[in-house]
Chain A
């Protein structure tokens, strides 16, 4: 349906372009006058007004269609089928009707469900054809009205450019819209969570056991949502990562920016970029398969008990992941320090090392600090390494050899394979996501401000 209506609109646009252009050429030839704009602009003007509003209509129709058909379907079900059912059961019913409608029949669906499925198929077909009709009609309307506007004195170029500007502004707003979408969806679901679990308990509680009994008689945890152990676990892993990445990254950057000659730089910098370009799932697999067993083996040989999914393994590999990030930011910050400062220091008789430690690093410090902050926010938000290499059980410990869990691990484990949105378990993931988003946002804004200020100082 969608490709059909888009195809129809496309054909109309092409027709609109040719018609608008041709009409202008005829009119100027007949009147012997010069047109205000080039002929192509008249064609484009008609084509744009044919295509843009109708495509917007089609997209809006698609977005609204699913919800509207579901609501109609629920309203059409007999009261006995709907009465007294919670939202979870209703959505289960809808899923069953949908799968029957698409021909995947499991077990023995009731007659009511089969009827509803055939109604659903009918309505969906109707809605689809309605979309085709409405989209084509709007395209035709646009074509018809703008075609009449075409005349030699009509300012078509300005019209086209206004349309372009509008499209560009809408595109620029998409970025804002994304942020709003993130914030709104996280806030909405998190508030539903805080309806059931008090904010204070979530932020300051010391016990995290999100496994909720699915049936009344099931023996399971009662569900405790104190997120402090999750936060400490995240901070522990991030701290280990930073203590691996900071020294290596800093020294590497000092060497490449101050000591190395051009040939060495030309080799080393791409290697760092390769490290930065490796997908995090690869690092995760590396952590599980190589680093964790090696650490365990090493621990055994010196008589230490290392957990198979220790914070140390996850943190160390995460450190490797953010290492290139730190080294490139430090490199940038060091090269931004004006040469006059370097030469001044050499002129006073300082060695290279003394210049770096006493002059360059203090001068570059704001840039480095900003970069480190960005790196910390990345470490906290990193998911795949910890999902694969860190643990699932929340434990409050500062021992890097034990297993801890992190915010991102909990989000993934709480949400994988579970789509019901009415229990605290899934909603807790959004509360954790909100905390994660706000924390990283604060760090990013601070870091970007620091880096920007620093850049202005030397430019």
Chain B
């Protein structure tokens, strides 16, 4: 039977010998399909990388101007008649700044009050404050003329950065032709400079973009993260040790395990609702406080820490435990003296990544009111504050042009912190990770 089949091939088989054109065509088609799938994969990855690049490039382009600030190096006559030397903080610095500014223009004294108002719009509302700070720090300078660097208001900051087009008709830009001429007059005298914008880091929030900074948000985020760490780190590790090393395998521990995994996937805004209903309304904790923010964030970070800690504990080989038990250590001693220290690098890496997530979390903080307008950095965890992401959200909602750059600048700072935290985590993993 077999021999007949072998010796008498069917018609179809003859046609489809390995060398036949049909089979070659089919193979070519199959290989083309293979190349196509590969190409789709490459295209998908290029898309992802391209999107990331677009995101980063657009943020850098938009945000980098926020790190410099247009300033006027103005000779200021610290006229003693406007300031009481006994109380230098309460002088009439507005008058000092205005008369000094007016004297920079030859036609200054002859200007109509209306023109003067238009002229003073070039200076930021923060200019008198800068002069005041100088006088408070150097009371001896009263009566002298000193050169101070004061910020310009947002439209002129934008103008100097080239964000306002001069060729637009006058009624379509925020700067009038006369103001343009005045600005050019100052620029021609070499009084305009653009130094690094330290105010971005040392000022708190302000209604004026050129004065707004994120000191309050940085301090608020620091407090909130500290509270979050102090709660979620010990509780998370203790819970993970119990579940991994001590808990009997029964229905209860299964429930806890499923529960932890689910909590890690609950939308963050739901945690905000919990914080609002329980912490603020039931326990009457203060609104907008970093304490409450940190507690809400700790509830979100807890499952992450439990999960990474369990993974790190699992990675410690059983031989370590058995050796310690063998020389007479108790179960607690084995865990606390041997297993936990060996798992620590993994736990710390996971914790830092969890903290980085908490730092970028916005939605729950909005619900507990950490998006208020607050002009001073918080002095403690009970005082109202904003956090970095909520500050970014506030700025993103503000219509002034300068705030768009501030928002992108704030995002760059936030991303900078995240990159640093992740680099520390990677370094920890590289430096201390042990493969068994």
Contacts and interface: CB of A to CB of B under 8 A. Distances in A.
Interface in A265-285: 268, 271-272, 274-275, 277-285
A70 interface: yes
A289 interface: yes
B137 interface: no
A282 B361 CA distance: 11
Nearest to A250: B44
Contact of B396 (A181, A252, A271, A288): A288
A286 B58 contact: yes
A290 B54 contact: yes
A326 to B, nearest CB: 11
Interface stretch (A211-219, A300-308, A337-345, A351-359): A351-359
Interface stretch (B29-37, B120-128, B158-166, B193-201): B29-37
Contacts of B418: 277-279
Contacts of B235: 171, 174
A219 to B, nearest CB: 26
A51 interface: no
Interface in B355-388: 356-357, 359-363, 366-367, 369, 371
Q: Kindly name the residue among B45, B280, B414 whose own CB sees the greatest number of chain A CB atoms within 10 A.
A: B45
B301 to A, nearest CB: 11
Interface residues of B, number: 91
B267 A382 contact: yes
A68 B55 CA distance: 51
B323 to A, nearest CB: 20
Interface in A66-108: 66-67, 70
A30 interface: no
A161 interface: yes
A164 interface: yes
Interface in B213-250: 234-236, 238-239, 241-243, 246-247
B273 A186 contact: yes
Nearest to B359: A279
A327 B47 CA distance: 13
A411 B389 contact: no
A157 B328 CA distance: 13
Interface string A361-387: 000000000000010011011111001
B302 interface: yes
A275 B48 contact: yes
Contacts of A124: none
A255 B360 contact: no
A167 B31 contact: no
Contact of A252 (B44, B281, B330, B422): B44
B417 to A, nearest CB: 10
A220 interface: no
A433 interface: yes
B13 to A, nearest CB: 16
Contacts of B243: 172
Given A172-B247, A421-B281, A290 B58 contact: yes
A95 B268 CA distance: 29
Contacts of B104: none
A356 B30 CA distance: 13
Interface in B69-110: none
A129 to B, nearest CB: 18
Contacts of B16: none
A444 interface: yes
Contact of A179 (B36, B49, B262): B262
B407 interface: yes
Given A286-B58, A356-B37, A271 B266 contact: no
B34 A351 contact: yes
B24 interface: no
Contact of B44 (A188, A249, A279, A384): A249
Contacts of B40: 251, 254-255
B271 interface: yes
A441 B274 contact: no
A437 interface: yes
Interface string B249-293: 000000110111111011111110110111011111101000000
Given A277-B418, A285-B407, A189 B283 contact: no
Contact of A182 (B266, B284, B332): B266
Contact of B330 (A157, A383, A421, A430): A157
Given A168-B242, A174-B235, A448 B258 contact: yes
A249 B47 CA distance: 10
B149 to A, nearest CB: 31
A281 B362 contact: yes
Contacts of B393: 281, 384, 388
Interface stretch (A111-119, A397-405, A412-420): A412-420
Nearest to A65: B284
B407 to A, nearest CB: 6
B51 interface: yes
Given A384-B363, A416-B371, A175 B306 contact: yes
Contact of A161 (B236, B263, B332, B356): B332
A178 B275 CA distance: 11
B273 A271 contact: no
B59 interface: yes
A437 B274 CA distance: 11
A179 B41 contact: no
Nearest to A276: B357
A254 B303 CA distance: 30
Interface string A418-459: 010100000001100100110011001100100000000000
A387 to B, nearest CB: 8
Contact of B287 (A179, A260, A419): A419
Interface in A105-139: none
B38 interface: yes
Contacts of B256: 172-173, 175-176
The winner among A171, A327, A430 for most chain B CB atoms within 10 A is: A171
B320 interface: no
Contact of B263 (A172, A179, A271): A179
Contacts of A380: 267
Contacts of A433: 269-270, 273
Given A171-B238, A179-B263, A429 B396 contact: no
B238 to A, nearest CB: 4
Contact of B47 (A165, A248, A280): A248
A256 interface: yes
A282 B37 contact: no
A58 interface: no
Contacts of A156: none
18 contacts: A172-B239, A182-B274, A254-B37, A255-B42, A255-B45, A281-B362, A285-B411, A320-B48, A377-B265, A380-B267, A387-B366, A388-B396, A411-B367, A412-B363, A419-B369, A430-B277, A444-B265, A448-B261
Q: State the 3 A-B residue pairs at the shortest beta-carbon distance, nearest first.
A: A381-B267, A255-B41, A279-B360
Given A384-B363, A445-B262, 9 more contacts: A67-B284, A169-B242, A181-B274, A278-B360, A279-B361, A290-B54, A290-B58, A327-B48, A412-B366
Interface of A: 63, 66-67, 70, 157, 160-161, 164-165, 167-169, 171-176, 178-179, 181-182, 185-186, 188-189, 247-252, 254-256, 259-260, 268, 271-272, 274-275, 277-286, 288-290, 320, 323-324, 327, 351-354, 356-357, 374, 377-378, 380-384, 387-388, 408, 411-412, 415-416, 419, 421, 429-430, 433, 436-437, 440-441, 444-445, 448
